Chain A
Amino acid sequence: MRMRRVRLHHVVPLILVLSVIVLLASSARASEPRLLVEASVEEVLRIVSNPDLKGLEKAAERRRQLRQAVSRRFDYTEMARRSLATHWSRRSEPERQEFVDLFSKLLESDYAYKIETYSGEKIVVVDQQIDGDYAKVRTAVRLKHEDVAIDYKMLKEDTDWKVYDVMIEGLSLVNNFRSQFNRIILSSSYDELIKTMRVRVADLDALVSPPARNHQGGTPGTP
């Protein structure tokens, strides 16, 4: 009996230490996918609703900040690789870099253009599913009558999680790009795809930026 009581005495501090470790571990889960998405969404909304960044003359600065916020959470190389799919392996390293660069500009311009129309809708993180190095964070944009489901598919990179695909209402952004890129490459050529993407980026830029800045991302060979 005495022996047992002594042991129990030793066990109590151990339990305390363990619970402290568990507490620390749970607070160190700051890099959990859903929290990362939440933080990014908040940051983007802060930029978009910032009164100091409203108006046409502030467009470039707003754009720069949006770009920064989004690129921190998105893995453009992975998205570009998945979108180009079977054609990726046929491209040389410099071509791949050029493609990733153009692809990220296209995504950012598209995203920035869409987010400009934001008018205070509520965005909530619904849940997250983690499976090894893969995770899916489900979010919902609350509109007047119903929700639009936007799911972020993430990949673990070291201790960080980066988005590699976005599912809007169950449809994959990567798959959408993949079929379009594939169609353009098969019906004409890879060079034609690059040209089309350049034109699209310039068009989207023109919609957001004031006219003077239209051609800063500009392209030789735009028809």
Chain B
Amino acid sequence: MASRSTETIVGAFVLLGLASLAYLAINLGNLSLGAERYVVYAQFESAAGLKPGASVEVAGVEVGRVDEITLAVDRARVTLSLAKSVKLQDDAIASIRTKGIIGDKYVQISLGGSNRIIPPGGLIRETESPIQLEELIRRFVLGKV
């Protein structure tokens, strides 16, 4: 009897440990479980500096993350995974912006006013590529044209 209850307690601890590990893995790895998210795509002329895992914000509120950045012919195709509760109109504009002056790049979405909503797997048509600080400096140094 005694050994039986010891075994049960050990088993319970092992399960607890596994559950904690899983919780850690999901949280640290930024994995998202469940169906509360959907994916949309956006094409940028350049995604310079943007990294997978970067946040997607609407009005400064994080509503999703950058999943993947791939090359589509000559443009960058960015996969965004967004919270289900966020609805993007087809005239929403996705811009790659910088946090602060030299901070990380993130995707900022300004909501539109159209009645048509971008469905899961759809494309954000209106995009703005990041402003290159070096480019601006170059222009400044080489003289205003």
Seen from chain A, the residues whose Cβ lies within 8 Å of a Cβ on chain B are 81-82, 84-89, 134, 143-146, 148, 153, 165, 167, 170-172, 174-175, 178-179, 182
A172 to B45: give the CA distance in the assembly, Å.
13
CB <8 Å contact, A170 and B113: no
* Binary CB contact string for chain B from 103 to 120 against chain A (1 if under 8 A, 0 otherwise): 000000011111000000
What 19 additional pairs, Cβ within 8 angstroms, besides A145-B142, A175-B126? A82-B112, A82-B114, A85-B110, A86-B111, A86-B112, A86-B113, A88-B113, A143-B145, A145-B143, A145-B145, A146-B139, A153-B126, A167-B128, A170-B45, A170-B131, A172-B126, A175-B110, A178-B93, A182-B110
Interface residues on B, range: 10 to 19
A84 to B110: give the CA distance in the assembly, Å.
11
Contacts of A134 in B (CB 8 A): 125
Seen from chain B, the residues whose Cβ lies within 8 Å of a Cβ on chain A are 45, 91, 93, 95, 110-114, 125-126, 128-129, 131, 139, 142-143, 145
Smallest CB gap from A82: residue in B: B91
CB <8 Å contact, A84 and B128: no
CB <8 Å contact, B113 and A87: yes
Contacts of B129 in A (CB 8 A): 170
Contact A179 B110, CB 8 Å, known A85-B91, A165-B126, A170-B131: yes
Please tell me which one of the listed residues B111, B113, B114, B131 contacts residue A171 in the complex, with CB atoms under 8 A apart: B131
A220 to B99: give the CA distance in the assembly, Å.
42
CB <8 Å contact, B126 and A146: no
Please tell me which one of the listed residues B110, B113, B125, B145 contacts residue A144 in the complex, with CB atoms under 8 A apart: B145
Smallest CB gap from B91: residue in A: A82
A208 to B139: give the CA distance in the assembly, Å.
29
Contacts of A144 in B (CB 8 A): 145
Smallest CB gap from B143: residue in A: A145
Contact A175 B113, CB 8 Å, known A145-B143, A165-B126, A170-B131: no
Contact A85 B111, CB 8 Å, known A145-B143, A145-B145: yes
CB <8 Å contact, A81 and B113: yes
A174 to B95: give the CA distance in the assembly, Å.
12
A170 to B76: give the CA distance in the assembly, Å.
14
Please tell me which one of the listed residues B93, B125, B142 contacts residue A175 in the complex, with CB atoms under 8 A apart: B93
